[in-house]
Structure 1
Amino acid sequence: MRTITRRAAILVAAGTLGLGGLAVAAPALAGDGPFGPGPSSTATADPGARGGVGSGYGMGFGYGMGPANGACRRLPVGARQGTLSTAQKATLASMAQEEKLAHDLYAAFAARYDAVVFDHIAHAESRHQAAVRTLLQRYGITDPTANQPAGTFADETMQATYDRLLAQGRPSQAAAMAVGQQVERDDIAALKAAADGLTAPDVKQVYTDLLVASQRHLTAFTRWAAR
């Protein structure tokens, strides 16, 4: 059973994600303290983190984990609404399910293993899901994750994927890290494909920020797996 020493160190502050006047409440996590450098004390700041100092595991500023001072970046404020095709609307709905799958998996692993990277990224995924849900509301798209408990999906294929990945991560922490890497690789591929031909400014901006976050999450899981 995982200990509570690392989880107890999580600092949560009230934060907000905004999308063109639509606000979504979300937690903001401090990037300093026990979570700043990640698993290695020799980690250095991420020079590529936008607008602030990031940790050595890419969870500094932006969608990844919020800036180092604990404030939550608003994403994206004032982005203009565009037009989505039927296929693009379906893709946006699927993004909500993918963000929920990632969050629910990482939360389950956080409860099982004493590795703060799962706590970190599970909180980030909850903010990503809130941003996608705001877009669903803006474009009048039914949210397939609404009222679905943790680990439960209305889509049978998504449910089967979650069950399979959860089982793959149960044998060991190393196995769970491998699952995290696979989820982020899949998200990166899905986001790149979703951006192809997309013109809606608000959706493009969210997808771009989610892509950056997934790349940072992949780096984090990869480095933790190498411990």
Structure 2
Amino acid sequence: MKTRTRIVVTTAAVLVAAGAFAGTLALAGGPPPTAGPGGTIMPRGGQRDGGCLGVPGVVDPSGTLTEVQRTALAANAEEEKLAHDLYTAFADRYDLPIFDRIAAAETTHLDAVRTLMTRYGITDPTANQAPGHFATPAVQATYDQLLAEGTGSQDAALKVGRTVETADISLLRKSLDGLTAPDAQRVYGHLLTASQHHLAAFDR
């Protein structure tokens, strides 16, 4: 069993919409990251500049989000944290580099979603939530169930990874439906491509 530094994921409050991600999951068959300023998780190799938002120094214009789109953004934040926390737990248990690599990627994804939430004044449901802890009960129950499944064996953990990424792809596609805000479109587009790559990696 490997020893890793645990990370506390920071940022605020409960949003019921994240339960939609839990429902989707139920249907879907190196050195550790370090804490940056304010407790923000940082990927291996130092701080990233929110590359999921696009080219560094180039900021897409903001748009308008409906209430449904605002709650979907918060749900995506909890999903990114759930994926990160699961993969970190599996990286501690199994000597498989894929979990380390994808957990590191999830930190940059969460940073990108947080940037959007800050920009649109949306309360972040992952604030002050320790690893493995979630504000939304449905997401907490989903995490607990997937963690239990993945601790059974290495193959079971890889299966959980496929389940998470499949659900993530479904949630992101739904989040993109009807979305017109350029900055949110770019972030979701990058996250969707990344999740497709993650799913392919778990399949291999």
User: Which bin holds the TM-score, normalised by the shorter protein?
Assistant: 0.7 to 0.9
TM-score (norm 1): 0.69
| Distance in 2 separating the partners of 1:114 and 1:26 | 22
Equivalent residues of 2:51, 2:112 under 8 A apart: no
Residue 105 of structure 2: aligned partner? 124
| Distance in 2 separating the partners of 1:26 and 1:88 | 26
Equivalent residues of 2:169, 2:192 under 8 A apart: yes
Larger RCO (CA under 8 A, 6+ residues apart): 2
| Distance in 2 separating the partners of 1:199 and 1:136 | 16
Structure showing the higher helix proportion among its residues: 2
| Distance in 2 separating the partners of 1:11 and 1:152 | 19
| Distance in 1 separating the partners of 2:66 and 2:172 | 16
Matched residue SS, 2:83: helix
Equivalent residues of 1:27, 1:72 under 8 A apart: no
| Distance in 2 separating the partners of 1:175 and 1:11 | 23
Matched residue SS, 2:53: coil
Deviations 1:153-212 (A, max 9, x none): 010000000000000101101000000000000000110111000000000000000000
The amino acid of 2:159's aligned partner reads A
The amino acid of 2:53's aligned partner reads L
Q: Measured at CA, do residues 147 and 116 of structure 1 come closer, stay the same or move farther in structure 2, by a change above 3 Å?
A: same
Q: Size of the alignment, in residue pairs? A: 172
Q: Bigger radius of gyration, 1 or 2?
A: 1
Deviation at 1:73, TM superposition (A): 4.0
- Residue 112 of structure 1 is aligned with which of 70, 75, 93? 93
| Distance in 2 separating the partners of 1:135 and 1:25 | 16
The amino acid of 2:169's aligned partner reads I
Structure 2 unmatched runs, 5+? 5-29
Residue 207 of structure 1: aligned partner? 188
Deviations 1:81-120 (A, max 9, x none): 0000011000000000000000000000000000010000
Q: C-alpha root-mean-square deviation of aligned residues, in Å?
A: 2.6
Matched residue SS, 1:149: coil
Structure 1 unmatched runs, 5+? 16-23, 31-65
Residue 43 of structure 2: aligned partner? 27
Identity of aligned residues (%): 54
The correspondence of residues 23-102 of structure 1 with structure 2, limited to 5 A, is 26-27=42-43, 73=51, 75-76=53-54, 77-102=58-83
Q: Measured at CA, do residues 74 and 97 of structure 1 come closer, stay the same or move farther in structure 2, by a change above 3 Å?
A: closer
Q: Measured at CA, do residues 136 and 166 of structure 1 come closer, stay the same or move farther in structure 2, by a change above 3 Å?
A: same
